[in-house]
């Protein structure tokens, strides 16, 4: 487990920035809840076996005692580096993103299933969308009960969505909660 180097950090931040915008620094600078220490540390990112983990400093410190081949995870994983070096966010980051993301999309109740199976969101499924969404923004997909279902990239801006065709793709799927059931080998 090691801290990320410059290049890797920029890659991760870029991806996160699409969702959080200027909130990004808040992600790393908020006081950590975890850890048995009375004074809260901060959160940090660590790389372990091509996966990036978001954990509090207390956790990270204690995890150094565990041997590298034996360590499976620290804190929450947020994404992984692919074979050729690009970074993708995984579904495990959903909670974090849902808490800090600026743009959200709400789906109609009957259409949740389709998204949870890994399909992109067509205009017909759209119930609500945050006003100032722009194309290419990171968007968290929620159900009408405010349950985060996954996230993706907005294909159109909010205004364009109104004008769009019913079958036009509004949100490009990146990750959804159904992957917990579909992809068992996610984290290994």
Partner 1 sequence: MAKKGTKSKPQLPPLAPAGKKGSKAAPPPKAAKRVPKKQMLLESSDDSDTEQPQQLQEEDSDIDVPSDSDAEELSGSDAEAEGGSSSGEEVEEDEDEGDDESDDDSLADDFLADSDEGSGNLLRSLVGFTEGGDSGLDSDDSDDLEAKSRAIDERQQKAEDDAEEELKTNIRSESDEFKLPTAEELEEEAHLPPNLPNLKRRISEIVRVLSNFNKLRQKDVPRKDYVNQLKTDIMSYYGYNDFLIETLIEMFPAVELVEVLEAFEKRPPECLRTNTLKTRRRDLAAALIPRGFNLDPIGKWSKVGLVVYDSTISAGATTEYMAGHYMKQGASSFLPVMALAPQEKERIVDMAAAPGGKTTYIGALMKNTGIIYANEFNEKRLHGLLGNIHRMGVTNTIVCNYDGKELPKVLGMNSVDRVLLDAPCTGTGTIWKDPQIKTSKDIEDIRNCAFVQKQLLLAAIDLVDANSKTGGYVVYSTCSIMIPENEAVIDYALKKRNVKLVPCGLDFGRPGFIRYREHRFHTSLDKTRRFYPHVNNMDGFFVAKLKKLSNTIPVTSESTKASEGAAEMADSSEDDEDKKTVNDEREKGVPDKEEKAVQMKNRKETKKTNKGANITKESKHVPDRPAKHIKNHKKDALETDGPESTEPYVDGKEVHREETKQTGQKKKSTSDRTKKFGPKSTLGLKEKKPVSDTKRKRKWQFKLRRDWEAEKKSDKRRKV
Are 141 and 105 within 8 A, CB to CB? Answer: yes
CB of 29: closest distance to partner 1 in angstroms? 17
Q: Cβ neighbours of residue 173 under 8 Å, at least 6 residues apart?
A: 115, 118, 119, 120, 121, 150, 152
Nearest residue (CB) to partner 1, 55 versus 155: 55
Q: Which stretch binds partner 1 (CB under 8 A): 20-28, 61-69, 131-139, 164-172?
A: 61-69
Task: Single out the residue of 2, 6, 22, 33 in contact with partner 1 (rule: CB under 8 A).
Answer: 33
For residue 145, state whether it binds partner 1 (rule: CB under 8 A): yes
The bridge status of strand 126-129 relative to strand 121-122 is unpaired
Nearest residue (CB) to partner 1, 135 versus 147: 147
Please give the residues from 63 up to 122 whose contact with partner 1 meets the rule CB under 8 A: 63, 65-67, 69-77, 92, 95, 112, 116
Element (H, E) at 99: helix 94-100
Q: Tell me how far apart the alpha carbons of residues 141 and 170 are, in angstroms, rounded to a whole number.
A: 11
Which backbone phi and psi does 150 adopt, to 5 degrees? 170, -170
Q: Cβ neighbours of residue 137 under 8 Å, at least 6 residues apart?
A: 18, 19, 102, 103, 153, 154
Nearest residue (CB) to partner 1, 131 versus 185: 185
CB of 24: closest distance to partner 1 in angstroms? 18
| Residues lying near partner 1 in the complex (CB under 8 A) | 33-38, 55-56, 58-59, 62-63, 65-67, 69-77, 92, 95, 112, 116, 143, 145, 147-149, 177-178, 180-181, 184-188
């Amino acid at each position: 487990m090691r801290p990320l180097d410059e290049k890797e950090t920029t890659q991760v931040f870029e991806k996160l920035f699409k969702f959080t915008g200027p909130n990004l620094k808040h992600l790393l600078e908020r006081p950590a809840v975890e850890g048995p220490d009375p004074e809260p540390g901060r959160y940090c990112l660590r790389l372990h076996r091509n996966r990036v983990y978001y954990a509090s400093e207390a956790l990270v410190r204690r995890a150094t005692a565990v041997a590298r081949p034996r360590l499976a995870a620290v804190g929450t994983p947020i994404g992984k580096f692919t074979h050729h070096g690009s970074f993708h966010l995984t579904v495990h980051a959903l909670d974090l993103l849902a808490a800090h993301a600026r743009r959200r999309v709400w789906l109609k109740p009957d259409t949740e299933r389709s998204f949870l199976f890994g399909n992109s969101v067509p205009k017909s499924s759209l119930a609500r969308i945050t006003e100032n969404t722009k194309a290419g923004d990171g968007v968290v997909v929620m159900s009408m009960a405010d349950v985060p279902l996954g996230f993706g990239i907005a294909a159109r801006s909010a205004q364009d969505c109104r004008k769009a065709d019913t079958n036009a793709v509004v949100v490009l799927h990146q990750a959804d909660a159904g992957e917990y059931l579909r992809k068992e080998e996610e984290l290994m």
